Amino acid sequence: MIKKALLCTCALAAIGGPAAAQDVVRVFNWSDYIDEDILTSFTEDTGIEVIYDVYDSNEVLETRLLAGNSGYDVVVPTASFMARQIEAGVYQPLDRSQVPNAQYAWPEIDERVSRYDPDNTYSINYMWGTTGLGFVQELIDERMDDAPVNSWAIVFDPEIAARFADCGIYWLDAPSEVFPAALAYLGYDGNSTDPDELQAAADLMMAVRPYVRRFHSSEYVSALANGDACLAIGWSGDVLQARDRAAEAENGLTIDYRIPVEGTQMWSDQFAIPADAPDPAAARAFINYIMDPQVNAQAVNYINYASGNLGAQEYIDPEILADPAIYPDEATMDNLFIVDPYDPQTQRLVNRLWTRIKSGQ
């Protein structure tokens, strides 16, 4: 028995050895943001091992990047955050001629992102989506008839939000996501940096603060799926993953996602290579692999986000392509806005307001 086991290990070492010794790609991506089978098949196809870590906030990623020597080869920042990170010299140019599958990139998305990454020098889009409302239909219906699930009012109007306090309201723990939403609900520009308007948004949030159970940017996926939460400010694909998990568990919970009528922000998460990446070649190989239309479609079908890959669309589940919560139609698109990064002054103000809101002080 032992002999056999030893033999096996040797054989494995003989096959896996040279490849494993060859290359490693260190990927730092958002949580719940890939079909892990893709990582396995990437290693099988290329012989490059993947070390995969996750985060759930742009702020944490930015802290790591600005501290330097993060040790990652591929990171996935949101484009709006990327703008100032590029200025800080955090990234190296991403040469698309060395990433053949970049030819499948969706020009419209590239165009949209060029506002933050001029000429798409440093990045290529992985997925894009919206920040909106996730909810558990049954739990909402029990507490209110015709609840306005397609309006920010359900989380920002104290009288409505109060009804759902007992079944669990979760908010993303990111001021850059929630402030634009509150501003949009108040009828202001989601991009506003006017201190008075920001203060008004903060006051609004303070009024509904008692009804919020948790500020967290990834827990709401499982919380919605198992009924610990009934309402969440969350990201489109994450909510839809919760929907799939609940359906799989057959626990009688119907989860859905809505883009609020008052408008919300649309964001794009970009593949980028840090300037001090240990192995940029492995990083390009990884990005190239994910940009392969079939692989990319596999990712979309799993995580329910819209991809910046046009070539992938023929392999994507038609139901996903037709779902306006994932690929918004023209009319919904008109209601979406994109946000600019805050200047340091505004950033500080927003951060301080956010700390106050969260602590309820």
Interface residues with another protein (CB under 8 A)?
Answer: 57, 59-60, 62-63, 65-68, 84-85, 87-90, 213-215, 344, 347-348, 351-352, 354-356, 358-361
If the CB atoms of residues 82 and 99 are measured against another protein, the closer one turns out to be: 82
Within 256-310, residue ranges assigned H as helices are 280-290, 293-303
**Dist CA 81 CA 92 (whole Å):** 16
* C-beta of residue 235 within 8 angstroms of C-beta of residue 204: no
If the CB atoms of residues 8 and 88 are measured against another protein, the closer one turns out to be: 88
* C-beta of residue 131 within 8 angstroms of C-beta of residue 208: no
If the CB atoms of residues 197 and 228 are measured against another protein, the closer one turns out to be: 228
Beta-carbon neighbour count of residue 275 at 10 Å? 15
Beta bridge partners of 30: 55
Smallest gap from residue 39 Cβ to another protein (A): 25
Token couple for 126: 């992985």
**Dist CA 72 CA 60 (whole Å):** 14
Nearest CA among 293, 314, 307 for reference residue 101: 293
If the CB atoms of residues 217 and 236 are measured against another protein, the closer one turns out to be: 217
If the CB atoms of residues 169 and 299 are measured against another protein, the closer one turns out to be: 169
Token couple for 355: 């700390």
Residues 6+ apart with CB under 8 A from 231: 133, 134, 135, 136, 140, 154, 155, 164, 167, 168, 169, 170
Nearest CA among 2, 80, 120 for reference residue 339: 80
If the CB atoms of residues 213 and 258 are measured against another protein, the closer one turns out to be: 213
Smallest gap from residue 172 Cβ to another protein (A): 12
Helices 344-359 & 175-185 angle (0-180, nearest 10): 90
Smallest gap from residue 190 Cβ to another protein (A): 21
If the CB atoms of residues 227 and 293 are measured against another protein, the closer one turns out to be: 227
If the CB atoms of residues 163 and 214 are measured against another protein, the closer one turns out to be: 214
Helix (H) or strand (E) holding 30: strand 24-30
Smallest gap from residue 242 Cβ to another protein (A): 18
Residues 6+ apart with CB under 8 A from 197: 183, 186, 188
If the CB atoms of residues 66 and 333 are measured against another protein, the closer one turns out to be: 66
Token couple for 95: 């040469």
Helix (H) or strand (E) holding 268: strand 264-274
DSSP-derived pairing of the beta strands 123-136 and 255-258: antiparallel
Q: DSSP state, 341?
A: P
Token couple for 196: 């008075």
Residues 6+ apart with CB under 8 A from 183: 189, 190, 191, 192, 197, 198, 201
Smallest gap from residue 88 Cβ to another protein (A): 5
If the CB atoms of residues 84 and 284 are measured against another protein, the closer one turns out to be: 84
Smallest gap from residue 69 Cβ to another protein (A): 10
Token couple for 262: 């008052």
Smallest gap from residue 251 Cβ to another protein (A): 13
Smallest gap from residue 74 Cβ to another protein (A): 18
Give me the amino acid identity at 148.
P
